[in-house]
């Protein structure tokens, strides 16, 4: 099977620091791929390189076999790769509907939209509610309430719903449970499973081993700027994964089904 | 209906939480930021109306307030746009004045047709605004510094270019009456309006529509709220900021035109306090100086509040300093309310 998103020989240097050192990367269709690694191993650089947030110095990225060259996250987004940043990238004072359609607002058809540039609020609100409902986020009080009035888990939910609404090919989640409590993390993990069941592959960056082992189909272990190995969570324990990641244990020789 | 039933109706549901009285007030203000200045405005009109009777509470006096605040009102509309992006524009007054000088000098010094001179003035104001926006968005300089510098530059250029010469009202009325167009009066019953007042009201309504119902308007709020988040969501932050300052420059140039109508002459020394007065109106109007919150209607009410206090106290024979004192109190109270509204939670 051809990977949906593939990186080959990616290099990114910041001055004397090499963040990515000829790194490879593969995301298969329909899977949840967790990316784990110690702080400073280059996880973020890897994700930024495939999502357009940074331009790699060397190497190639392929989406569905086509070579791509993103210079901004907007281009990646247009190609169907949505990223949910750790900061969520939402405007707290604006409503849920405003946030979900920020930067890709829908205008009314005909004269009002074309000449008076009027937004189609009713349609955006309806679509936003449908998306939230599809993902089981039913406890949102009002689609017009400001995002700052939501709990952390609800905000994360809205951000994931936004990505799921527009991300046709790949969704990248950066530490989605890091700021959440136990109950809210559980909701978000269910949400991730839900998005996966729609057939959209997910890249999950996380430090939380129980969460990673719960949802991931494969785990990409990142170390010293490159892919150390890819493991199946069913074959290894969490302490094995941590040992690979920190270098306490030799990595398995195979790189499972690249 | 039980909660289990509502969960099955297929769409995200609307639960109204119980907030208590104070919480409800806070929530309402959070949703309608123009409510506070509106209440203050109505209350101050009622109080002065009771104290002064028909001397104040007449169509003539109330529309006189509109005439007195028109320039500040127009400039404050421009200032509102800028402050919504978490910026500030100290050069608004200077832009208004130099635009009026360009309109006047182009007509009288170079003999250009008055319509062409007015368009030149409007373009000049827009260009200065665009330079402000470019320095802030592209060069990443702080808005306060850029517009502080631009204020001095434009004001000095204004005096150098005009040689500190006033073009007299009579001369304008005889040769280029169109320059005074926004000062033209018409009365409805006892109420007296000027074209400039009409322009201010229309401008506020148009901006209210644009901010609420167009993508550009939503982007102005998003940029002011959290520029980085807006950028990641796909908003063209740089373009939005530059366009906001350019539009602000254009509106200020219109204010310059209205200024000619108001004082009759083209005077390079007029409008010196417009930057502070416009910021005052914006703050009293409930727009947050931290950006992203508030409404243009609030600014309009804020400008009117200042006008009501000024005229009301003058009619009462009070020392003009009382006006400044009360405005000062209002400014601090408005910011305190803003901080309180920010703490809103579901």
Q: Which of A47, A94, A133 to mutate to test the interface with B (most CBs of B within 10 A)?
A: A94
Please give the pLDDT value at position B29.
78
pLDDT in tens, A134-158: 777 766 668 888 888 888 888 888 8
**Contact at CB, B222 and A138, closer than 8 angstroms:** no
**Contact at CB, B214 and A132, closer than 8 angstroms:** no
Q: Is the sign of the CA dihedral A211, A213, A216, A218 positive or negative?
A: positive
Mean pLDDT of A3-25: 91
Residue of B nearest to A98 (CA): B218
Q: Which of A46-55, B96-105, B241-250 has the lowest mean pLDDT?
A: A46-55
Please give the pLDDT value at position B344.
64
Structural domains in chain A, sorted by start: 31-56+69-91+146-246 (3.40.50.300)
Question: Is the pLDDT at B32 greater than 60, yes or no?
Answer: yes
Structural domains in chain B, sorted by start: 40-344 (1.10.3470)
In terms of residues, how long is chain B? Answer: 346
Question: Is the pLDDT at B2 greater than 50, yes or no?
Answer: no
State how far residue A82 is from chain B, nearest Cα, in angstroms. 10
State how far residue A74 is from chain B, nearest Cα, in angstroms. 6
Please give the pLDDT value at position B17.
61
Strand A170-174 versus strand B191-194 pairing type: unpaired
**Contact at CB, B292 and A93, closer than 8 angstroms:** yes
Question: Is the pLDDT at B339 greater than 70, yes or no?
Answer: yes
Region of residue B271 (left: phi > 0; alpha: psi -120 to 50; beta: else): left
B311 membership: H or E segment, kind and range: helix B296-315
DSSP string, B160-191: HHHTTPPBPHHHHHHH-GGGGGGG-EEEETTE
Q: Which of A138, A153, A154, A157 to mutate to test the interface with B (most CBs of B within 10 A)?
A: A138
Please give the pLDDT value at position A71.
86
A212 membership: H or E segment, kind and range: helix A209-215
Please give the pLDDT value at position B234.
84
Question: Is the pLDDT at B4 greater than 90, yes or no?
Answer: no
The residue ranking higher by pLDDT, A208 or B253, is: B253
Q: Which residues of B touch A (CB under 8 A)?
A: 7, 10-17, 30, 209-210, 213-216, 218-219, 221-222, 225-226, 228-230, 232-235, 292-293, 344-346
Question: Is the pLDDT at A47 greater than 50, yes or no?
Answer: yes
Q: Which of A93, A142, A166 to mutate to test the interface with B (most CBs of B within 10 A)?
A: A93
Please give the pLDDT value at position B6.
38
Q: What is the pTM of this model?
A: 0.88
Residues of B in Cβ contact (< 8 Å) with A99: 233
Residues of A in Cβ contact (< 8 Å) with B226: 90-92
């Amino acid at each position: 099977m051809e990977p949906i998103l593939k990186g080959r020989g990616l290099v990114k240097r910041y001055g004397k620091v090499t963040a990515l050192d000829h790194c490879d990367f593969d995301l298969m269709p329909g899977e949840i791929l967790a990316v784990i690694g110690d702080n400073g191993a280059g996880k973020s650089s890897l994700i930024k390189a495939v999502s357009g947030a940074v331009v790699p110095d060397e190497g190639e990225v392929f989406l569905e076999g086509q070579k791509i060259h993103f210079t901004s996250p907007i281009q990646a987004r247009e190609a169907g790769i949505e990223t949910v940043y750790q900061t969520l990238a939402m405007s707290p004072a604006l409503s849920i509907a405003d946030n979900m359609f920020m930067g890709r607002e829908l205008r009314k058809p005909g004269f009002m939209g074309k000449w008076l540039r009027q937004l189609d609020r009713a349609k955006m609100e309806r679509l936003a509610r449908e998306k939230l409902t599809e993902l089981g986020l039913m406890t949102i009080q009002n689609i017009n309430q400001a995002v700052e009035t939501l709990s952390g888990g609800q905000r994360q939910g809205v951000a994931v719903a936004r990505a799921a609404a527009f991300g046709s090919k790949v969704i990248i989640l950066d530490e989605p449970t890091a700021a959440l409590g136990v109950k809210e993390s559980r909701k978000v993990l269910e949400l991730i499973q839900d998005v996966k069941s729609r057939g959209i592959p997910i890249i999950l960056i996380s430090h939380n081993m129980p969460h990673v082992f719960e949802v991931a189909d494969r785990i990409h272990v990142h170390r010293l700027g490159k892919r150390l190995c890819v493991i199946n969570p069913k074959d290894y324990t969490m302490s094995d994964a941590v040992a690979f990641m920190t270098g306490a244990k030799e990595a398995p020789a195979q790189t499972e089904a690249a | 209906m039980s909660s289990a039933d509502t969960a099955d109706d297929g769409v995200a549901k609307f639960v109204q939480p119980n907030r208590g009285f104070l919480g409800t007030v806070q929530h309402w203000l959070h949703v309608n930021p123009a409510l506070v200045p509106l209440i203050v405005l109505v209350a101050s009109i009622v109080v002065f109306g009771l104290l002064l009777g028909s001397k104040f509470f007449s169509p003539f006096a109330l529309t006189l307030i509109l005439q007195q605040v028109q320039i500040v009102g127009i400039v404050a509309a421009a200032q509102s746009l800028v402050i919504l992006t978490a910026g500030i524009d100290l050069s608004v007054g200077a832009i208004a004045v130099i635009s009026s000088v360009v309109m006047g000098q182009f007509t009288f010094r170079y003999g250009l047709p008055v319509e062409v001179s007015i368009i030149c003035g409007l373009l000049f104001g827009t260009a200065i605004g665009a330079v402000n926006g470019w320095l802030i968005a592209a060069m990443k300089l702080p808005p306060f510094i850029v517009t502080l510098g631009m204020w001095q530059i434009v004001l000095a250029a204004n005096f150098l270019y005009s040689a500190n010469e006033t073009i007299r009202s009579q001369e304008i009325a005889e040769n280029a009456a169109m320059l005074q167009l926004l000062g033209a009066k018409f009365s409805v019953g006892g109420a007296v309006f000027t074209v400039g007042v009409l322009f201010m009201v229309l401008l506020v309504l148009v901006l209210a529509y644009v901010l609420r119902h167009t993508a550009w308007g939503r982007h102005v709020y998003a940029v002011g709220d959290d520029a980085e988040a807006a950028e990641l969501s796909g908003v063209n932050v740089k373009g939005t900021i530059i366009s906001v300052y350019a539009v602000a420059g254009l509106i200020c140039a219109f204010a310059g035109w209205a200024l000619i109508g108001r004082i009759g002459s083209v005077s390079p020394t007029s409008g010196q306090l417009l930057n502070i007065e416009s910021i005052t109106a914006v703050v009293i109007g409930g727009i947050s100086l931290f950006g992203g919150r508030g409404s243009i209607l609030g600014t309009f009410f804020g400008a009117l509040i200042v006008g009501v206090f000024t005229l009301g106290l003058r009619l009462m024979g009070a020392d003009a300093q009382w006006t400044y004192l009360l405005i000062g109190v209002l400014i601090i109270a408005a910011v305190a309310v803003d901080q309180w509204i920010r703490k809103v939670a579901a």
